A and B are shown apart, each in its own frame.
Chain A
Amino acid sequence: MNPFNPAGTTANRPTSRPAVVGGLLAAALLLSACGGTAGAGTEPAADATPVSGGNLNFALSVDRGCIDPQQAGNNDAIAVARQTVASLTSQDPKTGEIVPWLAEKFEANADATSFTFTLRDGATFADGAAIDAASVKTNFEAIKALGAKATLGSTYLSDVSAITVPDAKTVVVDFSKPNAQFLQATSTFTLGLLSPAAAALSEADRCAGKFSGSGPFSVRSYTVDKEAVLERRPGYSWPAATNTNKGEAYLDTVTFKIIPEAGNRTGSLQSGQIDATAAISAADVALFNGNGFSTETRANPGVVYNLYPNESSPKLKDTAVRQAISKAINREEITSTLLTDADQPAKGVLSHTTPYFTDLSPLLAHDPDGARKLLDAAGWKEGPDGVREKEGEKLSFQVTYWQSPKEVLELVQQQLKAVGVDLQLKFTTIADVTAAQADKTYDFSYGNLTRSDPDVLRTVFSSATARGGSNLREQLPVDDTLGEQAAALDQAARQKLVDQAQETLIKDAHSIPLYELSTTISASEKVHGLTFEASSRLDFYDTWLSN
């Protein structure tokens, strides 16, 4: 039996739900592109009846000191924060469809500038306050007020022009520009709802988890660098349509233990001192296939690991040079030699678990001869040391990065060397990387961005904001395409625009994708129903422990 039984699929969800999902919109968001590839597991075997009770010990590798869902930006903090809040909507991990959660009904106007949510009855915050329309307004306004501290929320709500509350059950969010991504944003933990009282809390208290949430778990205690303990929220009965559990969470408590040392995490899981973790190093993952353990991997949706060329530098302004670099990379070799069997090479700018994904791997084929031809034609001739040069300048670039495994870019370095391109690597801390990006003198930046909506392309690649780490290029027609997909509610129309944007980004090598970041849960076999939500974040609501 697969212990990672999925969130319930749309097929076997009770049909009696009074939800009349805005018809056109639901159809628009019902996606086939990523169907069947979500990898969120299978149905539980018939004899596996969930039992209530117990504590699950889950290891995290870092603690950024803040578990406020509206501020959390790193995966470990998100794992804790996600469980404490319910969102207006949920997203089906298999189809990408947006389905009801706190909002039993939702619809958008034709140009995606106005969204109306109708809330379900009976849901409350942990402090007893009702989850009503006014509380939604308070939450969204509080997130806007957080500004840059809301690392993700600030981008979702940046164009909000008005939030109105016609009655206690209805909230209308208006945007100054079309915003097709907003419905998906309401399914994320970032726009999850906290009791309005949280808006008055100090930043320190919010970060320390002293808020009252709306989700299946509440924060019992949180000690920075040590552990966060969540406890079951009594009376929780407003699950997302994607969950199989319909009542209170099965687990009494979830204890997130912070274990920074990779060897310690592996040993602690093997010796039963923790029950599960998503932070086993690639080299050790195989230890947990069988032998009383199980492993489940899902690619994070969104923009895959990319090298982003800084096109404000003269050498990388030349499209041919960028194209040659992309052709010289053997993506298959990266995943097969350095990562786990479940990891996949990039097949486009978006990973295969992202809604509206299209396989563009023919455009990403390994073609070192093609790369050499392009560079020859562009006037870059091989010098005595094997590195190409033109007018006394070497074809040499630097990339500053902190992401592990660091060997990925070491391999890329060797692959580029084979066609005469020199890539200098500087593996360092996040602090040094952000500094290098801030002064905008980098050649390449490196990274990914998780989001289960293709609008993530606009966030990363739009030329509108000259953000550190981006292409820093001048405005091009692809910006219009990116803008148009953000306004398209019709599925077919949006698919076409997303495909068009991706093709341009790859063909002109604004994007040099490498491989898909994935999240791997390694768990003891007594852990059941630990699932991935659509954004590959962890969901402990359906999780239970067998004896």
Chain B
Amino acid sequence: MIRFIGRRLLQGAFVLWAAYTVSFFILYLLPGDAVSIMASGDEQNAVDPALVARLRSEYGLDRPLPEQYLIALVKALQLDFGISIKNGVSATAAVAEVLPETIKLAAAGFALAVILGSALAIGAAFSRNRWLRQAFAALPPLGIAVPTFWIGLLLLQFFSFRFRLFPAIGNDGVASLVLPALTLAIPTAAVIAQLLSRSLHRTLGEPYIEQIRAKGASDALIHFGHALRNAAIPTLTMLGILVGNLLAGAVVSETVFSRAGIGRLTVTAVNSRDIPVVQTLVVLAAAIFVLTSLLVDLIYPLVDPRINTARRVSV
């Protein structure tokens, strides 16, 4: 097992290096550099080009690209991603400052998504009424099809502007978390509901369920005690992708609801070509993916003892 984890971590390190390198070169290939964007203000550029050139050289942006890359990489290995060009704050500090806000949002969004998604799937499996069953089945595709920002704006319109139940903006307290988390949860819940509902349907048709039913088990025991565990495996596999969805959704949710967080930070950093900050975010996102998929592999045997992660992966 330890050997398995060690190997996975090594693969993870490779993924992080690749993410760092690819993003570094892509960002440098993009037109526009942070220094001239900073010097332009919002209006017609008034700064003497000579001063801009001086600033660029202070940031080392006039050195040959391979040299810039090597210097940056060596520093990045020591977790120093450089300083944000727009305000001189260290890129890691800028990310660390808002990361807890996004973790709160993503955790709340994920919890809501699991609850909503599972409830829909189980509701669809349980309900005897045909209409109700169809309604449960129709909701997930709708949730996936509707754009996140639109959901956010609708929630704002009703629950904040009209009924004034929740604040429209900010990061203060649980109340400010409700609408953004719900916005984030809806598309993810839809994915979970669809996956779980399909595999639940398949599992319920398997012979062992028939056998349990024949033994006189109740519907609840069949669903929660036997079927759900087996049916959860495909959803668990999707966990890595769902976490990715949550990060992408945070960009939209944080922008619509004016929450500070890494989603907002990503938008501003990309727009201002603030390469140190963007790279910190890219590496962070890659690390989250690596850890999530490792976690999923480790959880499999707990859900289904027939799966031996270490042996399966090392074969």
Contact = CB atoms under 8 A, between A and B. Distances in A.
A297 B276 CA distance: 39
Rank and list the top 7 A-B pairs by shortest CB-CB distance, nearest first. Answer: A73-B41, A203-B88, A435-B31, A431-B32, A435-B32, A207-B87, A226-B260
A448 B54 CA distance: 25
A65 B84 contact: yes
B186 to A, nearest CB: 18
B264 interface: yes
Interface residues of A, number: 66
Interface string B148-190: 0000010011001110100111110000000000000000000
A158 B98 contact: no
Contacts of B31: 431-432, 435-436
B51 to A, nearest CB: 4
B40 to A, nearest CB: 5
Given A152-B46, A261-B153, 16 more contacts: A64-B268, A73-B39, A147-B51, A148-B47, A152-B41, A203-B87, A224-B260, A226-B259, A259-B258, A264-B153, A264-B156, A264-B169, A273-B160, A274-B169, A436-B31, A447-B44
B35 interface: yes
Nearest to A466: B49
Given A264-B257, A459-B46, A257 B170 contact: yes
Q: Most chain-B CB neighbours within 10 Å: which of A158, A208, A225, A436?
A: A225
Interface in B132-161: 153, 156-157, 160-161
A448 B36 CA distance: 17
B298 interface: no
A63 interface: yes
A257 B258 contact: yes
Contacts of B160: 267, 271, 273
Contacts of B97: 223-224
B197 interface: no
Interface string A124-149: 00000000000000000000000111
Contact of A225 (B55, B164, B264): B264
Contacts of A468: 36, 45, 49
Interface in B26-78: 30-33, 35-49, 51-52, 54-55
A434 B87 contact: no
A377 interface: no
A143 to B, nearest CB: 12
Nearest to B273: A431
A303 B170 CA distance: 36
Contact of A447 (B43, B168, B259, B264): B43
22 contacts: A65-B86, A73-B41, A74-B41, A148-B51, A149-B55, A204-B87, A225-B260, A257-B258, A260-B264, A263-B153, A264-B156, A264-B168, A268-B169, A271-B160, A273-B160, A273-B167, A273-B168, A429-B32, A430-B40, A431-B32, A434-B33, A436-B31
A224 B94 contact: yes
B264 A449 contact: no
Contact of B49 (A264, A431, A467): A467
B256 A261 contact: yes
Given A273-B169, A468-B36, A151 B255 contact: no
Interface in B96-153: 97-98, 153
A225 B32 contact: no
A271 B43 CA distance: 32
Contact of A147 (B54, B90, B94, B162): B54
B245 interface: no
B308 interface: no
A264 B36 CA distance: 31
Contact of B37 (A207, A258, A430, A467): A430
Contacts of A433: 32
Contacts of B295: none
Interface string A51-67: 00000000000111110
Contacts of A449: 43-44, 46
A469 B45 contact: yes
A542 B239 CA distance: 55
Classify chain B: how many residues form its interface, as a range. Answer: 35 or more
A168 interface: no
Interface string A194-237: 00000000111011100000000000000111110000000000
A501 B83 CA distance: 44
A207 B88 contact: yes
B221 interface: no
A411 B224 CA distance: 62
A204 B88 contact: yes
Interface of A: 62-66, 73-75, 147-149, 151-152, 154-155, 158, 202-204, 206-208, 223-227, 257-261, 263-264, 267-268, 270-271, 273-274, 303, 306, 308, 429-438, 445, 447-450, 459-460, 465-470
Contacts of A432: 31-32
Nearest to A431: B32
A81 B154 CA distance: 34
Given A225-B260, A227-B170, A207 B89 contact: yes
B272 interface: yes
Q: Most chain-A CB neighbours within 10 Å: which of B37, B84, B97?
A: B37
A264 B170 CA distance: 12
Interface string B1-42: 000000000000000000000000000001111011111111
A264 B166 CA distance: 13
A226 B170 contact: yes
A55 B82 CA distance: 37
A149 B35 CA distance: 9
A202 to B, nearest CB: 6
A259 B260 CA distance: 10
A338 to B, nearest CB: 20
B268 A460 contact: no
A402 to B, nearest CB: 9
A350 to B, nearest CB: 13
A148 B169 contact: no
A267 B37 CA distance: 31
A268 B153 CA distance: 12
Contact of A154 (B40, B48, B161, B164): B48
Contacts of B88: 202-204, 206-207
B258 A469 contact: no
Q: Most chain-B CB neighbours within 10 Å: which of A73, A148, A436?
A: A148
Interface string B290-305: 0000000000000000
Contacts of B36: 434-435, 438, 468
Nearest to A464: B48
Contact of A151 (B40, B169, B258, B271): B40
Contacts of B162: 271
A155 B32 CA distance: 22
B265 interface: yes
A257 B170 CA distance: 8
B35 A148 contact: yes
B30 A431 contact: yes
Contacts of A66: 86-87
